[in-house]
Amino acid sequence: MQDFLFSIYPWLKIGHVIFMVFWLAGLFMLPRQCIYMLDHESGSVGEAKWAERMGKLRKIILTPSMIIVWVLGLTLAYSIGAFSQGWFHGKLTLVLALTGYHGWLVAQTKKMARGERPLSEKRLRMIGEVPGLILVLVVALVYLKPF
C-alpha cells in the first residue's frame, strides 16, 4: 500500500495544495462577506442575499475543500512517514487550529444569517488575517523542516 501511495505522491501533493488554496481563499472571503452583511439591516433583502452567498461559500467551497485537504494531507503524511517528524507535529497543530477557526467562523456566519451581529467590522478585519498568519507558519514548517 505504501509503495502505491509513494508512486502517486506527486498527484496527492498537487491535490493537497490546490484544495488548500481553495480552503484558504474561502477563509479569506468569509470575514469580508460578513463585513458586507453588516451594511444591511437585520431581516432585509440585502442581508438575506449575503446570508445566501455565505451559505454557498461554506457548502460548495469551504467545507468540501477542508475535508479534501485533511484526507490528502493525512495520506501524504502516511506515505512519507511524517507522523514521527517534529515539523509535521507543528504543521498538524496549526492545521487543527485552522480547522477550529473554520468551525468558529462558520458558527459566527450562521448567527449573522439569523440577524445577530456577534462581531464588529474591526474584529472581522482582524480575524480575517488569521488564515494568512497560519499559512506563513505552515509553509515555513513544510519547506524548512526546522525540527
Closest CA to 134 of 97, 107, 104, 100: 97
Range 59-86 burial, b when 16+ CB lie within 10 A, else e: eebbbebbebbbebbebbbebeebeeee
Q: List the grid coordinates of 106.
A: 462558520
DSSP state of 114: T
User: Is there a binding annotation on residue 16?
Assistant: yes
Closest CA to 140 of 85, 66, 87, 79: 87
User: Is there a binding annotation on residue 102?
Assistant: no
Q: Please give the annotated binding residues for heme, written as ranges.
A: 16, 91
Q: Please give the annotated binding residues, written as ranges.
A: 16, 91
